[in-house]
Chains A and B, each alone.
Chain A
């Protein structure tokens, strides 16, 4: 037992001591906020700083009222042909031509442009004219603008889950959808990344031939478990740092926006549109989500980690491993695709439920069902099976591993793996 800890310690120090670990651990939680900040900043700068784009217009209907918040409109007096000729010598966005039209059937409005205008410009200018035409039509029908505005009311519907014991919980399926998506993707990514690292480590040991030296001191199974658990502890440390970093960052940003989670929850009326979403996100049962994520990550990682270890022990090079990776990770891929096709939308359909219970698919599938009040028996069954699945795959992998690490130069396929599995010590 003592020796497993030595191996865990060695694996842990090997990974954590690397610069790449430090970089990934500190940078990844900052990457998304940073990208968004930069994009927002650039966008703001460019729309603020730059001169407004110039649009010329020829208005034969005498109806256009330039709205100058986004563009500078310059009226051109004269025929459209003359205007086109003049526009050609400029470097400006476009030339808007409004012929003499009937506002009940506006046709022939054209935007001439030297370059293909962006979708945004096209839409903005189109909107300007449409709005103007609408206003004119209303005027014709003697409808006041204020009358129409009073008809437009934004209805903000809150969804409340009524649970059997009578408590009501505010819920937002959109937010849960986002949670399911995010954590499902993270789960898939991390199981893959960490599983792959186990495999790489084992192939490296096999290729550098240090493995026979090691197995003369420890049982092959101890070596395999030590590697798997060592990497798991690295993963957990990384998550822990991320959780701390993220909560700190969120708390800081909330402080700036002035939302206090507790108060907002008490007073749903205060939740105006934007605030409501933040409140909604902050008030998610994060403890439950993070517990489930960590549990399923650990379980899923251990299941697939063992399989990756078996693959790593069987092959002589990473290239050779690729033929096994696909079949081994197929259940994970299936649950990943199911997540987006139906689990998130129908979290309580029988297929979703079963995918979230079967150990090979449950880590990802369960992430998609987190928001659907998973019954306790399903959660417990799923977790117990996950642990059972881990014990089973580790047993299978261990039997393949102990033979595989000492074999080199064999052409390996699934038949050979099965033979190794059945082989006596």
Chain B
């Protein structure tokens, strides 16, 4: 089942269109990366999913049902622009936020205690947020996002402002939540996190979705058919591949980068090479998400 499907989402403002006919399909129990440059419309889409704003056109369904205010408790949202009440104590603050999500008071207390214990910050209950360091406040903020056990968690630039230790802790939690069956939407432009964490991605640029699919599919789609080969003995280009570069490492040993023709498979290429040289290593150079992102966004802007 899909955790979330958005069809034909359009949102116009007086001066510009924030989203133009955007469709996304987010499979359940995955980490879904929502990518795009600043101002592309990611936050608008996320706000629409959170029912903070309503789209001009289009529908959203969540776990097979049309999205309604009833679903607020199903979603956990960590906005990019986030904060807490400075004057409130950590405990009171979390109870308040949990109850706004629909939890009863006793339920809220149990869950919050569990999380505070898990993060080893039990003694913060009576501390005011203004007395916490930024990293400490981030932990509290993360707890507020997940304490009501949402099935869909939306994290907008979750690692901005986190130190590496906390970032790692949060990463661990995110993977654990995924194991438990949560679906996580991840909005970011930090490509290394996408590479590490995301199963699916969508790329939004200039109010439109320009790419969507599983990480594998996307990479396969944008593979450049470039291979790097370590071998003994020179060989020349033929009708199946062309040589991008070839350099001598020592004696008879060479390192060659070659580009295969689109219609031959990797195995065909390999057997081709074996026939002409002694292959020591053979690796297809897959594009990184960052490369795909940049080439697509730049390509768009050239049009």
Contacts and interface: CB of A to CB of B under 8 A. Distances in A.
Partners in one complex: yes
Q: What is the interface of chain B mostly: helix, strand, loop, or mixed?
A: loop
Interface string B121-153: 000000000000000000001001000000000
A406 B101 CA distance: 20
B84 interface: yes
Interface in A202-252: 204-205, 208-210, 212-220
- Report the contact-size class of chain A (Cβ under 8 Å from the partner): 20 to 34
B72 interface: yes
B54 interface: yes
B75 A209 contact: no
B52 A212 contact: yes
A3 interface: yes
Contacts of B144: 213
Nearest to B47: A406
Nearest to A425: B54
Given A213-B144, A215-B52, A216-B52, A208 B100 contact: no
A208 B52 contact: no
A6 B53 contact: no
Interface in A129-175: none
Interface in B202-255: none
B81 interface: yes
Nearest to B51: A216
A57 to B, nearest CB: 68
B99 A208 contact: no
A205 B88 CA distance: 12
A351 interface: no
Contact of A425 (B14, B53, B85, B100): B53
A210 B85 contact: yes
Interface in B181-218: none
Nearest to B87: A14
A423 interface: yes
A419 interface: yes
B100 A3 contact: yes
B163 interface: no
Contact of B81 (A3, A6, A7, A209): A209
A209 B83 contact: yes
A424 interface: yes
Contacts of A7: 100
A421 to B, nearest CB: 12
B101 A212 contact: no
A216 B75 contact: yes
Interface of A: 3, 6-7, 10, 14, 204-205, 208-210, 212-220, 406, 408, 419, 423-425
Those 3 A-B pairs whose CB atoms lie nearest each other, nearest first: A209-B83, A217-B100, A208-B83
24 contacts: A6-B96, A6-B99, A204-B86, A205-B85, A209-B79, A209-B81, A212-B52, A212-B79, A212-B82, A213-B79, A213-B82, A213-B144, A214-B97, A215-B52, A216-B52, A216-B72, A216-B75, A216-B79, A220-B52, A406-B52, A406-B53, A423-B13, A424-B56, A425-B54
